[in-house]
Chain A
Amino acid sequence: MHELGVVFHCIKEVNEIAAENKVSRVSSVTIQLGEVSTVIPYLFEDCWNWAVKKETVLKDCRIKIEIIPAVTLCEDCKREYPTVQHGKTCPYCGSLNTYLVQGNEFMIKEIEVVDKAPGSVET
């Protein structure tokens, strides 16, 4: 349910970008998804594939998902560690004074568009 909501947001953004760039067809969208962004990649993909069937400019547009690993920095010992394994507690010194450096991203990285040659018929 959550993934469907964010898919709608993403499609809206891409439609706006397409309109601004006078693009009539978007063939693929690449998103960057942090490991702890709360969006599950395979569910996002499923929702995406369902939602783009109803689109015009984004009709049957492919989705490419790049995963960004989650990394946390410890303020006390200044070391970085993988967030998913250790959570908020630093595995080196046990401090809770830590914050996420990367891993909650949810970005549209790029879109691939098709410009029809002049005079060609829309398919």
Chain B
Amino acid sequence: MAKKQVVSATINGNATEFLCEPRQTLLEALRDNLDLTGTKEGCSNGNCGACTVLLDGHPVVSCLVLAMEAEGAEVTTIEGIAPSEGLDPIQQAFLENAALQCGICTPGFIVATKALLDTNPSPTENEVRFALANNLCRCTGYDKIVRAVLDAAERRKASV
């Protein structure tokens, strides 16, 4: 077993140092080394999107990123989406549109939605569906998720 390494990264806005084994994924380090269990594991091979986080603003499936690759990076997880008080408009839109059932895919969808709306503030329905096609949901049939994302875009514009 290779020696543990120190990784320095900014996680949810906080300068953070953590120890990890070279073989650990970012997903594993977030959940097991940093107790950020909001990021979910659904498949561990990049197919389901439940573990989506932002790495320097880009959405990545954290199960396909090694923890050591986060050195020097900014990582945003579901725990870092909401402001210190209240909720992000995306979160509010998911709640009010009943866009979750079991909720296991929700953190990944919300993080992926943030990445979408940060780059495309006014997506069409088809652009939403294209951008979120890497995130699997088995409960909702996606109807209310897509509506929530379109609603979140409106809310973000209204709050600017």
The yes or no verdict on A and B being binding partners is no
